[in-house]
Structure 1
Amino acid sequence: MHQRDEIGFFIKLINDCIEKKANQTLKQFDLTLSQARILFYLHDHKETTTSQKDLEDFFEVTHPTIIGILNRLERKEFIRSETNSKDKRVKNIFLADKGGKVFCSMDHFKKSTEQKMLQDLTVDQIKELQSLLKIVYKNIQTF
Structure 2
Amino acid sequence: MEEKVLIGFLIKQIHIAFETRCHKNLQRYNLTPSQMDVLLYLKKHEEDTLTQRDLETGLTLKNPTVTGLLNRLEEKGFITREQNLNDKRSKFIKMTDKSERVLEDAYLYIQELDAKMLNGISEEEQEQLFKHIYKILDNLK
TM-score of Structure 1 vs Structure 2, range by shorter chain: over 0.9
**Superposition TM-score, scaled by structure 1 size:** 0.93
Q: Which residue of structure 2 aligns with residue 84 of structure 1?
A: 84
Give the secondary structure class of the aligned counterpart of 1:72.
helix
Q: Which residue of structure 2 aligns with residue 55 of structure 1?
A: 55
Once the two structures are superposed, residues 6-64 of structure 1 have per-residue CA deviations (whole angstroms, 9 ceiling, x without a partner) of: 11111010000001110000000000000011111111211111111111011111000
Cα distance between partner residues in 1 of 2:3 and 2:64: 37
Q: Percent identity?
A: 34
Q: Which residue of structure 2 aligns with residue 138 of structure 1?
A: 138
Cα distance between partner residues in 1 of 2:65 and 2:98: 22
Q: How does 1:1-143 map to 2 (within 5 A)?
A: 2=3, 5-141=5-141
Once the two structures are superposed, residues 78-135 of structure 1 have per-residue CA deviations (whole angstroms, 9 ceiling, x without a partner) of: 0011121111122210101111111111111110011011111111111111111111
CA RMSD, 1 decimal: 1.2
Structure 2 unaligned spans of 5+? none
Cα distance between partner residues in 2 of 1:132 and 1:54: 28
Cα distance between partner residues in 1 of 2:57 and 2:31: 22
Query: After the TM superposition, which of the residue ranges 123-132 and 72-81 deviates more from structure 2?
Result: 123-132
Cα distance between partner residues in 2 of 1:9 and 1:47: 37
Structure 1 unaligned spans of 5+? none
Letter paired with 2:3 = H
How many pairs were matched up? 140
Give the secondary structure class of the aligned counterpart of 2:81.
strand
Give the secondary structure class of the aligned counterpart of 1:88.
coil
